Structure 1
């Protein structure tokens, strides 16, 4: 059996709105197309705030995830991928399609 790296998805329901189910589907399918084993979808609303990043990082560590897939950077506070998240995993955006790697180089 071939090893596939593990990924999780992250969606903010307040950003997705009526498109939430579509965003979740696109996140899962993009992870699969990139060769990842999709383990978990984390969905929050905007009221969760800063504790989210700690919870997201705890989930990453618990399941040994290599990547986080997100519909777009607008799902992160301030519209940018948090630097400490990029230290832990590669972050993939669905639209526009982009990779924010742990090495610090943006895009593919």
Structure 2
């Protein structure tokens, strides 16, 4: 059983644009404030093939409890249900941070 929950940061570089470095800082800061161990931040571009599927694979491999993102615009305006089934999604903006809860526990917490 892990004492500190794990998170992955996620953003789309084409959505962040010149704010990418700031968005990454905001993700790290929010993870720390919420008590998550941020294992990595993933930045995909608009040309990335199936970014949600890739993110889900990374979240499962990392046994992530949450994915932290600057906002839902990085998911084209809606949290993908298939991601929600794997990890909670937490957005930096709008403030205060919003959490979109996982609809079922992932394998790492189900066996605890």
What TM-score, normalized by structure 1, do the two folds share? Answer: 0.88
Match of 1:35 in 2: 35
Q: Which runs of 5+ in 1 are unaligned?
A: none
Cα distance in structure 2, aligned partners of 1:102 and 1:95: 19
Q: Following the alignment from structure 1 to structure 2, what is the Cα–Cα distance between the partners of residues 47 and 25? A: 23
How far residue 63 of structure 1 moved from its aligned partner, in angstroms, is 1.0
Query: Take 1:103 and 1:13, find their aligned partners in 2: how far apart are those partners?
Result: 28
The 4+ residue runs of structure 1 with deviation greater than 3 A are: none
1:73 aligns with 2:72: yes
TM-score when normalising by structure 2? 0.85
Q: CA deviation at 1:103?
A: 3.5
Q: Could you tell me which residue of structure 1 aligns to residue 5 of structure 2?
A: 5
2:93 to 95, 101, 104: 95
For this pair of structures, how many residues does the alignment match? Answer: 101
1:68-90 per-position Cα deviation (integer Å, ceiling 9, x unaligned): 0000000013x111011111110
> Which SS does the other structure have where 1:4 is aligned?
coil
1:6-21 → structure 2 map (5 Å cutoff):
6-21=6-21
Q: Which residue of 2 aligns with 1:47?
A: 47
| Unpaired segments ≥5 residues, structure 2 | 105-112
CA-based RMSD of the aligned residues comes to 1.4
How much does 1:54 deviate? 1.5
